[in-house]
Amino acid sequence: MKILDSLRLRDTTRVRSLFFRVGMWWRIFYGFLRFLLGFVLLHLIGMPVADVFYSIMAHELIEDKTDFLVRVVTPFLRHSSFTVTYFLAIYFIFWGFIDIVLSINLLRRKLWAFPLSLYLISIFVVYEIYRFSYTHSLVLAYIVLVDFVLLWLIRKEYLSLTRVVVRTNHA
């Protein structure tokens, strides 16, 4: 019976470890996209966000003037005077860079990256929840959920790594 329990525990650990690796690769990819977006936004400083959105969606508007995304976003953009700012560009560059660097070091199992990632992602989640309280955005709710899952995976991986380090030091 203990052998069966041991096999189940190993399988659970393998699956969790697989999800951890997939999650870190996702953060690297997502961080890279944010990093690139930040540099693109640097070239659009001062341009209204509505103009940026409509230039990106121009091909959709040509094909279908009643596109779902355009219909949903247009009412918000009509009453918005937001322009692309340095803050927005630097924000994307900073978080993209942080995600890439920390995720690579988490995959390399650098112990210092685990607590730092947990703290930074937690701070970011608090900010996301604060923003959600104002926007009630379903996309933001999804991002918060994904970040909670990633926090849990990082914590579990960190605990399993520190247990291995403690066991090898006592052996």
CA dihedral 96, 17, 19, 122 (to 10 degrees): -50
Predicted confidence (pLDDT) per residue in 1-36, tens digit: 555 455 555 678 888 999 999 999 999 999 999 999
Q: Partners of 48 in the beta sheet?
A: 83
> Which among 82, 109, 140, 133 is positioned nearest to 24, based on CA atoms?
109
Q: Specify the DSSP class assigned to residue 47.
A: S
CA atoms within 13 A on the CB side of 99: 25
Predicted confidence (pLDDT) per residue in 38-62, tens digit: 998 888 887 777 777 777 767 766 6
Q: What is the pTM of this model?
A: 0.71
Q: With bands split at pLDDT 50, 70 and 90, how would you rate the model's confidence at 158?
A: very high
Which are the contacts of 39, defined by CB distance < 8 A and separation ≥ 6?
89, 93
Give the H/E segment covering residue 155. helix 138-170
Q: What is the mean pLDDT of the chain?
A: 83
Q: 81-85, 91-95, 118-122: which range is least confident on average?
A: 81-85
- Whether the CB-CB separation of 92 and 38 falls below 8 Å is answered with yes
